[in-house]
Copies of this chain bind each other. A is one copy, B any other.
Amino acid sequence: MSQNGKKILIVDDEASIREMIAVALEMAGYQCMEASNTQDAYALIVDDKPHMVLLDWMLPGTSGLEFARRLKRDDRTAEVPIIMLTAKGEEDNKVLGLEAGADDYITKPFSPRELVARLKAVLRRTTPQGIEDPIEVNGLVLDPICHRVTSDQDAVDMGPTEYRLLQFFMTHQERAYSRTQLLDQVWGGNVYVEERTVDVHIRRLRKALGPQHEHLIQTVRGTGYRFSTKAS
């Protein structure tokens, strides 16, 4: 289960708050690091290159604001998106925070959902390639953004329908689907297409995958097809 969870650095001097946020984010599939002061934080950012920093406004020593500004000036850390955490309702701070280079600003207390939502939004804005993670199996990589498939770096050419078919299979592994189900799921409910057409696209998909991967698409006689990494 090699989840492609983004790494999030939480900077707050209160351990309980750090912990709370960390547990929360881990539930959402993120990987967390913690720092209680700006020195540790800086080291972690440089070393571990987190995808995002959650930065408390109030910190002993250097203030969060100051720290954010410093991060944005430093070439090595300027790219990391920052969300500032702060006590309730100080609109002035918001402006200051955003000017200092923070990408978003969230007011305590905040709901878990809000945090995750903001975090996603910022990652979405700042991540070059998009949101969804590629799906990978046996060196076969499906990129939900580029609608492209690669096998050990080499691009695999296939038509849109084959791509969607493969996408469906890669997200619904180890289970057989009837032609009708595939038509519903991949072609989309209300179109009239011959069931046999599925066979043809399965054929095209297998061909596109080549000898190395075609065995992933297995025929379940009398039933339909299945995507599985295990031999049948």
Contact = CB atoms under 8 A, between A and B. Distances in A.
A225 B12 CA distance: 38
A60 interface: no
A124 interface: yes
Contact of A28 (B27, B160, B171): B27
Interface residues of A, number: 41
A76 interface: no
A26 B148 contact: no
A49 interface: no
Contacts of A164: 146-147
Contacts of A24: 23-24, 27
A132 B132 contact: yes
Interface string A123-164: 011001111100000000000111110000000000010001
A112 B27 CA distance: 5
A172 B128 CA distance: 9
Given A23-B24, A24-B27, A130-B168, 7 more contacts: A23-B27, A26-B112, A27-B115, A28-B29, A29-B113, A130-B167, A132-B132
